[in-house]
Amino acid sequence: MSAESKLMTMQEAIERHVPSGSMVLLGAELEQMIPFAAGHELIRQGRRDLTLVGPISDILFDQLIGAGCVSRVMAAWVGNASAGLAYCFRRAVESGIPRPIDVVDYSNFTMALALHAAALGVPFLPTYTTLGSDLLQKNGNLREFSSPVSEERLVAVRSLRPDVAILQAQRADQFGNAHKWGSLGVAVDGARAARKVIVVTEEVVDPSLIASDPNRTLLPGFLVAAVVNEPWGAHPSPVQGYYGRDHAFFAEYHEQTRELRDFEDWLARWILQVPDRKEYMNHLGAGRIENLRVRQHAFTAPADFGY
Amino acid sequence: MPDEPYSRSELMVVAAAREIADGDLVFVGMRLPMFAFLVARRTHAPRAIALYESGILRQTPAAELLYTMGDPGNLRGATQCGQMLDVMGLLQQGRVDVGFLGAAEVDRFGNLNTTWGRRNGQLQRLPGSGGACDIACLARRTVVLLVHDRSRLCERVEYVTSPGYGTGNGWRRAQGLPEGSGPSAVITTLGVLRFGNGGEAYLASVHPGVGVEEVLANTGWTLCVADDLDETIPPSGPELSVMREIDPHHFWTR
């Protein structure tokens, strides 16, 4: 393990590790722990031609697409988990606004297998899912083949190696060793599949705390390029044990982004005119933040690692 | 149904709940299916187990009604919070008894589309598969819930996001999909469709107060009707009281 701290600001992490043209994994934990703060910084720094990778993407993909940062999406679902459709995604696919995007449709399972293959270091993994579907017909990374060990048709899911995975954690040490709990989705494979990992953490803790509960260490620090200490970095999505889901925010986003001009106002108000997460939280307001805080703690029973 | 003591959505939830047998491993979807799972657990299927695609396994229902499966309330008290591949592996092994899906379109052979819609002749991009294709390919039974109208129940879906019985007559086997999998019911606002041996959908029951002609007129193909057509059994007293206890303001069943 390097003894050098990987702590840096969000601006620095995005500037150093996510250039235009990158393939970026976001939203690996599905509806929880979506790295909105990181996505907003990608928008502020004017990234272009990103390929977004993720299983289901909630409205973060929609925002990046609407801001013109994206040329390709590889995902199983792009929408608003509260409201269904996402308008920027629709405008880009249907009318090329603000720019055309290429969509490579996966299912959740094939996305998980693509990342797992990369995490295992093999070119593909076999599955039965998508047989007979139009996903199989249209997605060139899903190929039918005959099993070499049985009389069966299978689908080979090509491994997918993102340039960067941006993953949210509850707590991490300054070297990037991170504890995650709650919704895991494809995050563990995502970290191993990617060439680089940026960890966005709610808290920075001492390495001895991480080592006290090694089963919970889902991201080993040697894979991590940057650690960003960014409390509330996942708002409006939830982080188990830290804050709840801001359901109203998703509904408001849906209402306020229906037309292009409305989205542009939204983008200015919540991202472009907001320099960082601290200011974003001020904008959100104390009352709203208070309502999202944990009301009833539910601590796990300690596990004894003694011998 | 102005005189009935329950809403059409409540009837759909109960019909969906009855597709869950006691002890089933259930891939639960969002909204109405999530509600149906709670009703089944509290009535006839107390040992049913819920799986969610983010990797969550629950042996007891969440304490509150959820907006998304990733709500913190769905994780606290869960039996296991694993990875997506853990639950997808169970699905591919053939261990998942039933999965619930919604759809923009369903066709004569139970194929589902959630990728491309059509409104006033214009193609409209929809969110896509999520886990729907996986459930439709691999769950032993798939139950679909949707609003019944001609544009949604169509002869052939625009795009096969989630395969049903394809073009019928052994199509699933020919594609290599697992034996003993496929759609088992389509629960609509008007009735319940099931599937014959050739994989074609037929009308198995109509909801109380709905005429067969109304169903046929709102279906985009010539729908076969079962010889022994039933009326969908309305919610029982206990089922209704469970639903109203969980959702007192009819948020999910307006």
Question: Do B157 and B214 lie in a common domain?
Answer: yes
- Which chain B positions have a beta carbon within 8 Å of A108's beta carbon? 53, 84, 88, 129-131, 134
Number of domains in chain A: 2
**A189 interfaces chain B, CB cutoff of 8 Å:** yes
State in Å, rounded, how far the first CA of chain A is from the last one.
Answer: 25
pLDDT for the residue B32: 83
Beta-carbon separation of A78 and B178 below 8 A: no
Quick one: DSSP state of residue A272? I
Question: Do A149 and A189 lie in a common domain?
Answer: no
Residue A88 within a domain: yes
Minimum distance, in Å, between the CA of residue B136 and any CA atom of chain A? 9
- For the cut 90, the answer to whether the pLDDT of residue B246 exceeds it is no
Question: Do A170 and A252 lie in a common domain?
Answer: yes
**B163 interfaces chain A, CB cutoff of 8 Å:** yes
Based on the number of CB atoms within 10 Å of its own CB, is A261 exposed (0-12), middle (13-18) or buried (19 or more)?
A: exposed
Question: Do A81 and A204 lie in a common domain?
Answer: yes
**B-chain residue closest to A251, CA distance:** B67
**A160 interfaces chain B, CB cutoff of 8 Å:** no
Picking from B54, B82, B129, the nearest residue to A30 by CB comes out as B54
Question: Do A132 and A216 lie in a common domain?
Answer: no
Q: How confident is the model at residue B84 (pLDDT cuts 50, 70, 90)?
A: very high
Residue type, A12: E
Residue type, B100: F
Question: Do B217 and B131 lie in a common domain?
Answer: yes
Question: Do B78 and B137 lie in a common domain?
Answer: no
**A106 interfaces chain B, CB cutoff of 8 Å:** yes
| CATH number, domain with residue B19 | 3.40.1080.10
pLDDT tens per residue, range A76-130: 999 999 888 999 999 999 999 999 999 999 999 999 999 999 999 999 999 999 9
Residue A117 within a domain: no
Whether A62 contacts B49, CB under 8 Å: no
- For the cut 60, the answer to whether the pLDDT of residue B52 exceeds it is yes
Minimum distance, in Å, between the CA of residue A161 and any CA atom of chain B? 17
Q: How confident is the model at residue B3 (pLDDT cuts 50, 70, 90)?
A: low
pLDDT for the residue B118: 86
Per the prediction, chain B carries an average pLDDT of 94
Examine the predicted complex and report whether its ipTM is higher than 0.85.
yes
Beta-carbon separation of A133 and B55 below 8 A: no
Q: Is B245 a catalytic residue?
A: no
Report yes or no on whether pTM surpasses 0.95.
yes
Question: Do A78 and A207 lie in a common domain?
Answer: yes
List helix spans (H) across chain B: 8-17, 32-42, 72-75, 84-92, 132-138, 171-175, 212-217, 237-246
Beta-carbon separation of B69 and A30 below 8 A: yes
Beta-carbon separation of B129 and A105 below 8 A: yes
Residue A84 within a domain: yes
**What is the share, in percent, of chain B residues with pLDDT greater than 90?**
83
Question: Do B84 and B113 lie in a common domain?
Answer: no
- For the cut 50, the answer to whether the pLDDT of residue B155 exceeds it is yes
**A-chain residue closest to B114, CA distance:** A77
**B71 interfaces chain A, CB cutoff of 8 Å:** yes
User: A255 Cβ partners below 8 Å, 6+ apart?
Assistant: none
For chains A and B, CB pairs below 8 A equal 178
Q: Give residue B39's domain range.
A: 1-96+233-254
Beta-carbon separation of A154 and B176 below 8 A: yes
Residue A113 within a domain: no
Beta-carbon separation of A129 and B160 below 8 A: no
pLDDT for the residue B252: 75
Question: Do B14 and B87 lie in a common domain?
Answer: yes
Question: Do A52 and A79 lie in a common domain?
Answer: yes
Question: Do A190 and A264 lie in a common domain?
Answer: yes
pLDDT for the residue B20: 98
Residue A74 within a domain: yes
Question: Do B92 and B104 lie in a common domain?
Answer: no
Question: Do A151 and A212 lie in a common domain?
Answer: no
Residue A118 within a domain: no
A155 vs B178: CA distance, rounded Å: 13
Residue A197 within a domain: yes
Query: Residues of A numbered 248-287 whose beta carbons fall under 8 angstroms of chain B's beta carbons: which are they?
Result: none
Question: Do B43 and B88 lie in a common domain?
Answer: yes
Set B10, B19, B53, B105: catalytic member: B53
Question: What sign for the dihedral angle of Cα A299, A165, B129, B164?
Answer: negative
- Which chain B positions have a beta carbon within 8 Å of A245's beta carbon? 67-68, 70-72
Q: How confident is the model at residue B94 (pLDDT cuts 50, 70, 90)?
A: very high
| Interface probe with B: pick from A107, A120, A292, most Cβ of B within 10 Å | A107
Query: Residues of B numbered 24-63 whose beta carbons fall under 8 angstroms of chain A's beta carbons: which are they?
Result: 30, 53-56
Whether B87 contacts B52, CB under 8 Å: yes
Number of domains in chain B: 2
B66 vs B29: CA distance, rounded Å: 11
Question: Do B62 and B142 lie in a common domain?
Answer: no
**CA angle, corner B121, sides to B120 and B124, nearest 5?**
85
Question: Do B143 and B188 lie in a common domain?
Answer: yes
* Positions in chain A whose pLDDT score sits under 50: 1
Beta-carbon separation of B125 and A93 below 8 A: yes
Query: Residues of B numbered 133-152 whose beta carbons fall under 8 angstroms of chain A's beta carbons: which are they?
Result: 133-134, 136-138
- For the cut 60, the answer to whether the pLDDT of residue B2 exceeds it is no
Question: Do A141 and A228 lie in a common domain?
Answer: no
Question: Do A65 and A132 lie in a common domain?
Answer: no
Question: Do A15 and A73 lie in a common domain?
Answer: yes
Q: Give residue A236's domain range.
A: 10-107+162-292
Question: Do B123 and B168 lie in a common domain?
Answer: yes
Question: Do A234 and A288 lie in a common domain?
Answer: yes
Q: What are phi and psi of A4, to 5 degrees?
A: -90, 135
Question: Do B53 and B142 lie in a common domain?
Answer: no
| CATH number, domain with residue A83 | 3.40.1080.10
Q: What are phi and psi of A132, to 5 degrees?
A: 85, 0
Question: Do B196 and B250 lie in a common domain?
Answer: no
